[in-house]
């Protein structure tokens, strides 16, 4: 694989307190890596948490920090790059993804969005992540749906797209998949205080909208909610855990392995209008 130079200047507000380096607590240092592969560079990405991490942070940055430090959010950093599977980023995309992940300014000068000029691109990339134009949101949804569908088939669960599937004790379940941003004005206040609150709010909305109809049909509504930084909601985690158990039985594999296979991972979205969601 071709090697590329990657340098990022991390602001001083990120250099105090502690950092989590893919699960290990380390002291902060300035981030810079030269000649590293996509996966190797990912192992140097630092997520600020712990004592002193929120003292000088905005509400948006607090929401980002809580989301990126949640379980499963960093799965994309450990993916082996594979262009053939659509699991690779070019150097510019990778650098932009790292900047977005660390909360660095992704849109200096706040230029207008190329697809909806009435909306400026914000420094944390919220609009680029949530823009409804250009097809990114639909593509992301469909890719996640297809991966869940394929995993169900591997576990011998009779599942169909846009239809209920046999689930617990033969009772049909309707999976309703969505991705939400913790930086959405509706969620940001609570997301800045509690990790996963954006996903919880979206789950409640899905139940409010779908439970009555699903009950009439004899279905169970199961929202599969992911936050844009990669963390999954509690109901999705429970569903993927059950799916991993079915898959372990079917393939005679340890659940520790099938749990990784059954939980989709999100690569960061197109904060530079050129990046796409992919799956590990």
Q: In whole angstroms, what is the distance from residue 246 CA to residue 87 CA?
A: 26
The larger pLDDT score, comparing residue 181 to residue 137, is at: 181
* Residue 268 pLDDT: 62
Determine the length of the chain.
Answer: 280
- Write out the two tokens for 128: 């680029």
Residues 21, 46 contacting (CB under 8 angstroms):
yes
Q: In what order do the strands lie in the sheet with 165-168?
A: 165-168, 171-180, 220-227
As a whole-number percent, the residues of the chain with pLDDT over 90 amount to: 26
**Is the torsion defined by CA of 1, 228, 73, 96 positive or negative?**
positive
Average pLDDT, the chain: 75
Of 203-207, 254-258, 268-272, the range with the lowest mean pLDDT is 268-272
The larger pLDDT score, comparing residue 119 to residue 201, is at: 201
The angle that helices 234-251 and 255-262 make with each other, rounded to 10 degrees, is 130
- Distant-in-sequence, close-in-space partners of 53: CB < 8 Å, separation ≥ 6: 16, 17, 18, 65
* Residue 135 pLDDT: 79
* Residue 280 pLDDT: 29
Residue 77: how many other CB atoms lie within 10 Å: 22
The larger pLDDT score, comparing residue 95 to residue 15, is at: 95
Q: For residue 80, name the pLDDT band (cuts at 50, 70, 90).
A: confident
Q: What pTM, to 2 d.p., does this model score?
A: 0.75
pLDDT per residue as tens digits for the range 122-178: 888 888 888 888 777 888 888 888 888 888 888 888 888 877 677 776 778 889 999
Residue 171 CA to chain centroid, in angstroms?
29
The larger pLDDT score, comparing residue 194 to residue 164, is at: 194
Residue 196 CA to chain centroid, in angstroms?
11
pLDDT per residue as tens digits for the range 8-35: 444 444 443 333 333 333 333 333 333 3
* Residue 276 pLDDT: 36
Q: Does residue 256 carry a pLDDT above 90?
A: no
Residue 256, by phi and psi: left (phi above 0), alpha (psi -120 to 50) or beta?
Answer: alpha
């Amino acid at each position: 694989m071709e090697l590329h130079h990657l340098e990022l200047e991390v602001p001083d507000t990120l250099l105090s307190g502690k950092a989590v380096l893919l699960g290990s607590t380390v002291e902060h240092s300035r981030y810079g890596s030269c000649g590293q592969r996509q996966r190797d560079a990912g192992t140097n990405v630092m997520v600020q948490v712990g004592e002193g991490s929120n003292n000088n942070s905005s509400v948006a940055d607090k929401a980002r920090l809580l989301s990126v430090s949640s379980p499963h959010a960093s799965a994309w950093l450990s993916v082996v790059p594979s262009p053939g599977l659509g699991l690779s980023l070019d150097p510019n995309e990778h650098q932009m993804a790292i900047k977005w992940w660390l909360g660095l300014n992704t849109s200096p000068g706040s230029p207008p969005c190329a697809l909806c000029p009435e909306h400026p691109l914000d420094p944390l990339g919220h609009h680029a992540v949530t823009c409804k134009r250009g097809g990114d949101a639909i593509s992301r949804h469909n890719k996640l749906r297809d991966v869940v569908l394929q995993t169900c088939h591997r576990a011998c669960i009779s599942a169909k797209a846009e239809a209920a599937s046999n689930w617990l004790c033969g009772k049909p379940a309707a999976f309703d998949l969505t991705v939400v941003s913790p930086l959405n004005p509706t969620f940001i206040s609570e997301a800045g205080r509690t990790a996963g609150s954006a996903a919880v709010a979206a789950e409640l909305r899905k139940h409010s909208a779908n439970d009555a109809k699903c009950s009439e049909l004899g279905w169970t509504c199961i929202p599969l909610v992911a936050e844009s930084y990669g963390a999954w909601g509690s109901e999705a985690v429970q569903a993927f855990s059950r799916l991993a158990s079915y898959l372990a039985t079917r393939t005679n594999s340890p659940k520790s392995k099938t749990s990784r296979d059954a939980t989709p991972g999100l690569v960061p979205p197109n904060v530079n209008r050129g990046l796409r969601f992919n799956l590990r």
